[in-house]
Copies of this chain bind each other. A is one copy, B any other.
């Protein structure tokens, strides 16, 4: 994949991967980092019955968890080396039940800024023979600079 963005830190991939590895929740739910390009990050989650709501689908909050991290790391990939990323807010629209064998959250920066970043995520549910958009997110993230 090509990216429209120029990263400010050439080591953005390693920095995102390192931070992702520190998110204990990702191991707890079984999520992994699929792909990182400047301004875009994909996170994968296999179906797990331990993550379900009352009807046996993945809980909307679990969907939000990987979509929020996908947005946050998409933003972090464009930030300078000494920056941390903080979610300010996000909104999720649930389009269909999160049913499937495997889920991929694709987070993309749509507006980078000095301190405020806007990102969007899509959540796709896959099973053997189909791939379906099941949720969308709009998020605002903030760059917190270490020296601040």
- Could you list which residues of chain A lie within 8 angstroms of chain B, going by C-beta atoms? 19-20, 22-25, 27-28, 49-55, 59-62, 64-69, 84, 86-96, 110-111, 115-116, 118, 120, 133, 136, 138, 140, 142
Identical chains in the assembly = 4
Residues of B within 8 A of A86 (CB): 94
Q: How far is the CA of A94 from the CA of B67 in the complex (A)?
A: 15
Q: Are B54 and A65 within 8 A (Cβ)?
A: no
Q: How far is the CA of A59 from the CA of B87 in the complex (A)?
A: 10
Q: Are B138 and A25 within 8 A (Cβ)?
A: no
Residues of B within 8 A of A87 (CB): 60, 94
Q: Are B61 and A84 within 8 A (Cβ)?
A: no
